Amino acid sequence: MKKRLPPLNWLRAFEASARHLNFTHAAQELNLTQAAISQQLKALESQLGTALFKRLPRGLELTEAGMSYFPVVRESVERLAAATDEIFGQGHRRVLVLRTSLVFFTHWLAMRLPRFRARHPHINIRIDSNIWVDDSASDSDLEIRYGQGRWPGMKSERLTWDTLQPVCSPSLPTAERPLSRPLDLAHHELLHVLGYEEGWGYWLKKNRADSVDSSQGLQFDTLISALEVAELGQGVALARSSLVHHLLQSGRLIAPLASTVATQEAFYLVYTQHSVINPDVAAFAEWLTSEALAFRAEADSANS
């Protein structure tokens, strides 16, 4: 016999608790007490006949059943919220929220955004570039993330196909301190960006320049800072080719080394299935992926 569907408030309590892995935060989000959240979850577990959480001394973990149930419940709650907003939302136009890293927005998206605005002037957009907000707390419709394209419960569309390029100011290489081969990097400041799996150590190894000390140099939490310091002639940054294309064309930076390495990581457009129910969100996603493919074709043509 089929189990009857649990009450919606129990499912909302489960979805929020599983997302935060914290009863207190779930209670705050739903404007309930922690005791009420705990009571609803116990009732849900009782009806389902299985535990959904492991209650540990220092927090929560989902059980195997909880991990299986969470994406189904989360998608259902999100779809219901999206449909409610679409049908019964306020009369004013809804703002499309895009969350992106500042370097991708500054060096790739910003220069292309007017084309979307010209095509869809009725679509209001909010750009959220706060990269340190917890993913679960984001209210974005679409996100641009850097990685290998795998985020559980999310769909992704690849936007960049990069090579790793050492870049610097045109004034940096000199006769006394040349920069014409990878081993010359030993005599220059390396500019590191935290959070990238493919950094200087990876590039040097691929180019058989392991003798260069990859630990020396300045460290930054965003590539945009490293590129700015590189422009000022203070070191060599390891850039993603799609983000410095315009800087190389304008002469603000140069790529003095012919050696490049293809990246395994890339920028991706990331979203939940319910997000693209909104026609404005779907229109932006379609436009962005078409821009990315056009840029890739242009770059391939220039390199052939």
* Calpha distance 196→267 (Å, rounded): 12
Kindly give the confidence (pLDDT) of every residue in the chain, 304 residues in length, as a single tens digit, with 9 standing for 90 and above. Answer: 556 789 999 999 999 999 999 988 899 989 999 999 999 999 999 999 999 999 888 788 999 999 999 999 999 988 888 777 766 665 445 789 999 989 999 999 999 999 999 999 999 999 998 655 455 545 789 999 998 898 888 899 999 999 999 999 999 999 999 999 999 999 999 999 988 889 999 999 999 999 999 999 999 988 999 999 999 999 999 999 999 999 999 999 999 998 889 999 999 999 988 888 889 999 999 999 999 999 999 887 777 6
**CATH classification for the domain delimited by 8-88, as one of 1.10.10.10, 3.40.50.300, 1.10.8.60, 2.60.40.10:** 1.10.10.10
Strands 236-240 and 190-193: parallel
Predicted structure pTM score: 0.68
Q: What architecture (CATH level 2) is domain 163-262?
A: 3-Layer(aba) Sandwich (3.40)
Q: Name every residue whose Cβ is closer than 8 Å to that of residue 10 and which is 6 or more positions away in sequence.
A: 40, 41, 43, 44, 47
Q: Which two tokens stand for residue 281?
A: 């969100």
Measured distance CA(167)–CA(236) in Å, rounded = 6
For 262, residues 6+ apart whose C-beta sits below 8 A from its C-beta are 162, 163, 164
Domain boundaries, the chain: 8-88, 95-159+266-303, 163-262
The phi, psi pair for 105, rounded to 5°, reads -65, -50
Strand bridging mode 142-147 / 95-100: parallel
